[in-house]
Structure 1
């Protein structure tokens, strides 16, 4: 039944997308992030849904009358340089065949990132793109939150099989990155039931992130909470509210969760932590020895025998920074970091420009929450391998197309959001710092 339902949804959506490439981007995003076909048990489980979505999008780009143009801003240029650099490092990879296979996956994601940049123009495109990312991850937040509650926090939450967020650590950071965007949607929502539903989803997603029992997730939550607190005008009130909520959530979690989180301070006795540190040393030594790094497939016994302090402890780097360093050398790491530095600068520019007008304040809030999401990715990503995952690049897309929306003064012709009605001015046009998180 699930298989037939998924195929029916895809067919209807693909038909609608044939002349609307932005719809094709939404379909691709849903399939690539949520992996709904992996939740089926029949023929749909291995169906090429992503390839179909991409094909429909390209066909639509040929016949559409909509404007198609990539915004060639500095983050896009650096991202393309990073992609070209990965192609170069793969050519000289130490395990060539496996590296080419991974590069093929990465190139597909980055190609669709460029397509999204080219076809998303209107405010409704931007907000629907945010919605599809939120709901794709939020599904596992809703499901995982309920599972954590019913299991008393004793069972670990895992992601969908076969994707980037299959592991508990990866799922945790993806969940955390979506919470600020959920808050943005709640701010601009005009219907009370939508706002209340998003609030419930935020709470369940937070519980699900804790239920993954990921130590990196806990650090990411703390980092994001600190940023939100620093931006709040009423720091005392915000601090008390955050402390009360945090205390309630942490009190719910069992002793097994507390004991696992406690290993952050005693990492020397934790085999998983020491395995990661061993892998970090390996990638560092490899990057120092080879300018172009070792390619995507470096977590092999022969390379650990050469570069790792403990050649018998073979574990992936579990870090966006050390994985890029080992796979693509210092040059690759510099380009990777520059992409996200420029993304944060773009968000700052959007916020500065958008707060000048009541009818662009929605972008002020959106860019601010994108900043918080990127910070969550930067902190949580230090302890897991999500260097090439779609979600952070989709947030980059949101920022870049939002900046283009402002530059083209599209507020003069677009006054409504994704569902046909603009957010109330009184909710968006409050003095800076007086709207809690929305005013950050």
Structure 2
């Protein structure tokens, strides 16, 4: 058995043991690692038992929640998180689409079932990740998984022109999808490089180097834009936020300098040659051709106002675009998270998705304002901000690819929802449940009880 196969089996059985011996949240961490390791698609898969490890991890999560449901519900009630309600409505729109307007019911049904499983995982994980420690562990499980993908890209090298292919994830097999999955790691590692002790900072630097090198080798322009969209607002907040700690601005400047220096070190001529195509907005090499695909969504919606269902846009592409516009691809995809959602569930379903994001952001903003008003440690304040920026970075990167139902998107939504729960909603519920002292009577304290 190879070292990778042995390591995977140790991680898997260790996660099972930790679930029963330590915390139910370990089952979701195991699920995250299985997702990134993707044993079925790796060269060492022939050396491990041929079972569905993600299914086992999912069942472990559900079983753990079922056995301690009352305990988990006390800390993480689903009804207290508004974004989760809108997620259920979005899922219902997919079932409505299957019944009423999906143009390819067979494919729509298959992927709707997959999306249902993902939503169930999100709801179960929200219950299990009910503490600050569990949240931090889940973030690091994502970062370690992303680091593994960066390592795979590094040892594989560019094997398809100026890109790396063949290291994909279960639901994101192509290079752009893999790159988008790595993008949120940038701002999260930036947070730990700032707030962590020297051991955490060293780990963040190592992980960041492998992930950055992987992104350069994958050479995704959308991932480049997504990284900027996430890191830039976080650094600006470190500089200009009124919620400051000692040495915060010098540290932000140091991180910016080190980060830029590292980025310049790992990038090469092929990377910058591809990124330079973004300057010529008229060239199809810049991705401008995708704008045509996006705009065709509105033409399709004129004839199908409720939406087209999953793969409906692809089915209609030959009818609304000529062969030259489609680039020789008959069933062309729309190539955008936003327009994919709009085409699949229509304007009303897409509005539900936007409402979910706005609801989550408003809850997170309330949490940050509450933390600042309480005068607590700004570590938690900036952790929430980092999670917001991580979600933003993924949304920016996925603007150019079909990732409306991608695992990482809903993981980022989940982690931000968990962050608002453990840092804010739990404390608000405790305050609301604590009875106020009775008026007209001074409570007797321990220090004065003996003198009365």
1:87 and 2:95 correspond: yes
2:142 alignment partner, one of 110, 127, 133: 133
2:234 aligned partner: 228
The total of aligned residue pairs comes to 408
1:61 and 2:72 correspond: no
2:167 alignment partner, one of 160, 171, 178: 160
1:303 alignment partner, one of 316, 321, 333: 316
1:254 aligned partner: 268
Q: Is the 8 A contact 2:19 2:25 kept in 1?
A: yes
1:113 is displaced (CA, Å) by 0.2
Give per-residue Cα distances to partners, 1:1-49, cap 9 Å, x unaligned. 2445534532342244247432222222222344244323316486311
1:419 aligned partner: none
**1:184-333 maps to which residues of 2 (within 5 A)?**
184-190=191-197, 192-233=198-239, 242=256, 245-246=259-260, 249-250=263-264, 253-270=267-284, 273=287, 276-300=290-314, 302-308=315-321, 310=325, 312-314=328-330, 315-333=332-350
1:14 aligned partner: 16
3-state SS, counterpart of residue 239 of structure 2:
coil
**Structure 1 Cα separation of the partners of residues 304 and 141 of structure 2:** 40
**Structure 2 Cα separation of the partners of residues 53 and 31 of structure 1:** 8
1:418 aligned partner: none
**Structure 1 Cα separation of the partners of residues 165 and 18 of structure 2:** 33
**Structure 2 Cα separation of the partners of residues 206 and 268 of structure 1:** 29
1:32 and 2:46 correspond: no
**Structure 1 Cα separation of the partners of residues 19 and 256 of structure 2:** 42
Pair 1:306–1:139, CA change in 2 (3 A): same
1:112 is displaced (CA, Å) by 0.6
Pair 1:347–1:210, CA change in 2 (3 A): farther
1:98 aligned partner: 107
Q: Is the 8 A contact 1:145 1:206 kept in 2?
A: no
Report the TM-score, using the length of structure 1 for normalisation.
Answer: 0.81
1:379 alignment partner, one of 396, 401, 408: 396
Q: Is the 8 A contact 2:280 2:286 kept in 1?
A: no
1:361 is displaced (CA, Å) by 3.2
**Structure 2 Cα separation of the partners of residues 346 and 305 of structure 1:** 43
Give per-residue Cα distances to partners, 1:385-435, cap 9 Å, x unaligned. 2212222322222222332323333999xxxxxxxxxxxxxxxxxxxxxxx
* Greater Rg over alpha carbons, structure: 2
**Structure 1 Cα separation of the partners of residues 93 and 338 of structure 2:** 16
Report the TM-score, using the length of structure 2 for normalisation.
Answer: 0.79
1:247 is displaced (CA, Å) by 6.3
1:66 is displaced (CA, Å) by 3.1
Pair 1:370–1:156, CA change in 2 (3 A): same
Give per-residue Cα distances to partners, 1:207-256, cap 9 Å, x unaligned. 32222211112222232343134323379975797477536634753333
**Structure 1 Cα separation of the partners of residues 94 and 162 of structure 2:** 38
1:157 is displaced (CA, Å) by 3.4
Give per-residue Cα distances to partners, 1:324-365, cap 9 Å, x unaligned. 111111112212222222222222222212234565533212
